[in-house]
């Protein structure tokens, strides 16, 4: 396995808290596809016309609407790291409600509480 793929895997582990099965499969069977996906993902999440914070909040809303808990947690972490407030996350989840209904908000709150608990636990160390 190349150093580039190992680095990508470490980034997923850091961001998601584990390495998703689909990342492991791509790393094993199609490392070039994983590199391509990661390159696009990385470029998409850099500051441009929209800030990284706004892009992370967009991904929080999209994942809330789709009910994808793990990526939502990862993007809440990313949004907070990029300077988002809990109020901004709340408003993002309200927008998701317009598309997917109150379950999007409920799942978003669960994801936010997970991130808050992680931060509290790491600050107590």
Q: Both 63 and 112 in a single domain?
A: yes
| Structural domain of 28 | 3-44
**pLDDT bracket for residue 19 (50, 70, 90):** very high
The whole-angstrom separation of Cα 62 and Cα 60 is: 6
Q: Both 33 and 57 in a single domain?
A: no
Q: Both 7 and 68 in a single domain?
A: no
Q: Are 42 and 54 in contact (CB under 8 A)?
A: no
Q: Both 37 and 96 in a single domain?
A: no
* The total number of structural domains that make up the chain: 2
Task: Indicate whether 18 pLDDT > 90.
Answer: no
pLDDT in tens, 77-111: 999 999 999 999 999 999 999 999 999 999 999 99
Specify the range with the lowest mean pLDDT, choosing from 13-17, 23-27, 52-56. 13-17
Give the 3-state secondary structure of residue 86.
helix
Q: Both 114 and 56 in a single domain?
A: yes
């Amino acid at each position: 396995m190349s150093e580039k793929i190992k680095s990508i895997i470490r980034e997923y582990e850091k961001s998601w808290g584990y390495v998703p099965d689909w990342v492991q499969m791509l790393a094993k069977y199609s490392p070039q596809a994983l590199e391509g996906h990661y390159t696009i993902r990385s470029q998409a999440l850099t500051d441009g016309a929209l800030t990284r914070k706004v892009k992370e909040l967009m991904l929080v809303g999209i994942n809330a609407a789709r009910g994808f808990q793990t990526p939502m947690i990862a993007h809440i972490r990313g949004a907070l790291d990029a300077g988002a407030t809990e109020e901004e996350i709340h408003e993002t989840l309200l927008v998701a409600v317009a598309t997917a209904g109150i379950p999007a908000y409920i799942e978003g709150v669960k994801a936010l509480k997970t991130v808050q608990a992680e931060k509290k636990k790491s600050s107590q160390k």
